[in-house]
Copies of this chain bind each other. A is one copy, B any other.
């Protein structure tokens, strides 16, 4: 089991045995521990002393269902704190097959403006991974949709690719790291927090992985692992949210548009309402029906990564039946749609495509456009002009650089007070004034406003893992804390967070997840250990953030949400500071 270090100062690499203390870590647990242990919290995120860490989950690379996730960690240029962003792709499987628990990118080239790519494959003769570096200057400034096919032609059909786009090259705090999906599109993003710029700052444009011939993941107790796998797969196949031809497989994550709109918690026109009159036009149902009309047949969704049971990734087609883009996720659909007052799916799809092409996070992009609209740069609801603004970002014009800096940056550039961010990261698609628990997660997570860090939407809106009133602040700090801790564990296993839907409702599914991990690692974790292990990860992240200068003052929603009531419920964010402080205070 290796830690692989790429030193970008001189383009060398080093393989290290995984230290005993890191043996049971994976995914977010690995990235956050490594960053906490090795990165000076006061370093400049784009300087030589930041590190970028890629870690597959504990069961990634095995046959465990929906487990091909990669965690990417570093000090975030967007939040100034620790960051873990994750994505589903075949890419981490290659790492796992080569028994690489973490790939750490270090240093910085002296050569200004030059970049390289790393090809990582299994050296059968030496019995270990091998890295080669190649110049990548020819790919700079290019659309990733043009570049990825070239890379596949060059390195072969079986490889997987991680990369950053022009957004990273420009140093945008809104820049993600992209992994290819099963159709080789540059579309699966570890999007949030600006890690694309960290990658680019290291002079590293792509990492091409090829794990063919590698020994694959070592599984200590195969019988236990397989028992766990079966329990988890069974839970996923029977739960209404995750089952085949269920909500996610049919309508994609955008199935949430109508649900959140109905709940009055769909942030609209830069978080000025919880209801969007155009919601039905951009909902998952509209995507399904729109494709059906254009293609003349029903189209169910596909998997973003190998071995996924849920298969929630959609494709949007043009009138001429050619593909427009994949994937129009709920978050993208909302951010670029409802939150900008835009109700045309063709416009939203084009914006998603451009974000993929340039290496932008769709959430941060949509919330940034909405802030620009509030500032009067373009009108709310103007899809064509919104597309034009994203193109500015791709070109790196002055306006593009303002927008590329993200939502808070853009709000500051125009002197606005209504900027929906926490720790510099924009809020995603759930209004904290209408859904108090998720607001607590936004405020307190180590990541900056992030729904995936503690998805209380389950019990608050979806009646998954319990059922609670979204509008009350009562009991929500404890709820958010429990979700945040469990999530940090799930993010470490390598499973997609969507397994949370079945495993929170079906205890044998939760056991299955734990048995998979125990099978791989030889541990004897119980279900109740998940939150404890997760809490330890959160504490490490919190320690990093504190050393980076964060305090309770950073665990707050923006001031305007405290005094501006949100229609239709006309509520402000009325969670007491003491409740916010209790999330980590009582962890």
Q: How far is the CA of A170 from the CA of B417 in the complex (A)?
A: 13
Which residues between 180 and 207 of chain A lie within 8 Å of chain B, taking CB atoms? Answer: 197, 201
Q: How far is the CB of A438 from chain B (nearest CB, A)?
A: 21
- How far is it, in angstroms, between the C-alpha of A416 and the C-alpha of B172 when the chains are bound? 11
C-alpha gap A350/B365 in the complex (Å): 39
Interface residues of A in 21-69 (CB under 8 A from B): 41-44, 46-49
Contacting pair B44 A560 (CB below 8 A):
yes
Q: Are B417 and A401 in contact (CB under 8 A)?
A: no
Docked Cα-Cα span, A413 to B548, in Å, equals 21
Cβ of A523 under 8 Å from chain B: no
Per the 8 Å Cβ criterion, residues 450-499 of A in contact with B are: none
Q: Tell whether, in the assembled complex, residue B558 and residue A44 are in contact, meaning their CB atoms are under 8 Å apart.
A: yes
Set B170, B402, B549, B559: member contacting A401, Cβ < 8 A: B402
Q: With a CB–CB cut-off of 8 A, which chain B residues contact A398?
A: 397-399, 401-402
- Judge whether A551 is part of the interface by a CB distance below 8 angstroms: yes
Q: Does A126 contact B (CB under 8 A)?
A: no
CB within 8 Å of B: which A505-552 residues: 546-552
Chain B residues near A43 (CB-CB < 8 A)? 559
Task: Judge whether B402 and A414 touch: CB under 8 Å.
Answer: no
Evaluate contact between B412 and A405: CB separation under 8 angstroms: yes
Contact of A415 among B197, B550, B559 (CB under 8 A): B197
Pair A553/B46 contact, Cβ less than 8 Å: no
Task: Tell me what chain A mostly uses at the interface: helix, strand, loop, or mixed.
Answer: loop
Whether A415 and B201, one on each chain, are in contact in the complex, defined by CB atoms closer than 8 angstroms, is: yes
Contact A173 B412 (CB under 8 A): yes
Q: How far is the CA of A401 from the CA of B376 in the complex (A)?
A: 14
In the complex, A289 has a CB within 8 A of chain B: no
Roughly how many angstroms separate A536 CA and B173 CA in the complex, as a whole number? Answer: 39
A560 and B171 contacting across the interface, CB-CB below 8 Å: no
Cβ contacts under 8 Å, A201 to chain B? 415
Interface flag for A83 (CB, 8 Å): no
Determine if A415 and B171 form an interchain contact, defined as CB atoms under 8 angstroms apart: yes
Asked if A121 CB lies within 8 Å of chain B CBs, one says no
CB 8 Å contact bits of A388-406 with B (1 = contact, 0 = none) = 0000000001110110110
A556 CB–B CB distance under 8 Å: yes
Asked if B558 and A415 make an inter-chain contact with CB atoms under 8 angstroms apart, the answer reads: no
Closest-by-CB residue of B relative to A545 is: B553
Q: Which residues of B contact A558 (CB under 8 A)?
A: 44
A46-B415, A417-B44 are known contacts. Are A553 and B547 too (CB-CB below 8 A)? yes
* Cα distance, A317 to B61, chains bound together (Å): 75
Distance A42 CA – B170 CA, assembled complex (angstroms): 31
* Chain B residue contacts of A559, Cβ below 8 A: 42-44, 47, 49
Smallest CB separation, A406 vs chain B (Å): 10
Q: Is the Cβ of B47 less than 8 Å from the Cβ of A560?
A: yes
- Among A47, A49, A546, the most chain B Cβ lie within 10 Å of the Cβ of A47
Give the Cβ gap from A413 to chain B, nearest Cβ, in Å. 5
Is there contact, CB below 8 Å, between B42 and A415? no
Q: Does A554 contact B (CB under 8 A)?
A: yes
Closest partner residue, chain B, to A404 (CB atom): B413
- In the complex, what distance in Å separates the CA atom of A246 from the CA atom of B171? 49
CB-based contact B409/A172 at 8 Å:
no
The one of B41, B197, B416 in contact with A553, judged by C-beta atoms closer than 8 angstroms, is B41
Residues of B within 8 A of A560 (CB): 44, 47
A108 to chain B, nearest CB (A): 9
A553 to B81, CA, bound (A): 12
Q: Using A551-B549, A551-B551 as known contacts, say yes or no to A415 and B170 having CB atoms under 8 A apart.
A: yes
A404 CA to B173 CA in the complex, in Å? 19
- The chain B residue sitting closest to A558, CB to CB, is B44
Q: Which residues of B contact A49 (CB under 8 A)?
A: 559
Q: Is the CB of B549 within 8 A of A415?
A: no
Could you tell me the distance between the alpha carbons of A442 and B281 in the complex, rounded to whole angstroms? 55
Question: Is the beta-carbon distance between B417 and A413 smaller than 8 angstroms?
Answer: no
| C-alpha spacing A98/B405, complex, angstroms | 47
Hey, which chain B residues are within 8 Å of A550, CB to CB?
Answer: 549, 551
Name the B residues within 8 Å of A47 (CB-CB).
Answer: 417, 559-560
Of chain B, the residue at the smallest CB distance from A200 is B415
A221-268 contacts to B, CB under 8 A, are none
A546 to B551, CA, bound (A): 9
A47 to B559: give the CA distance in the assembly, Å: 9
Q: What is the CB-to-nearest-CB distance from A113 to chain B, in angstroms, rounded to a whole number? A: 10
Given contacts A47-B559, A48-B563, 18 further A-B contacts (CB under 8 A): A47-B417, A47-B560, A49-B559, A77-B412, A170-B415, A171-B414, A173-B412, A397-B398, A398-B398, A398-B399, A398-B402, A401-B402, A405-B412, A405-B413, A409-B409, A409-B413, A549-B550, A549-B553
The 10 A-B pairs with the shortest beta carbon distances in the complex, nearest first, are A171-B415, A549-B553, A398-B399, A398-B398, A47-B417, A401-B413, A44-B417, A44-B559, A549-B551, A46-B417
9 A-B pairs (CB sep. < 8 Å): A46-B416, A46-B417, A47-B560, A404-B413, A405-B413, A546-B551, A548-B553, A549-B553, A551-B551
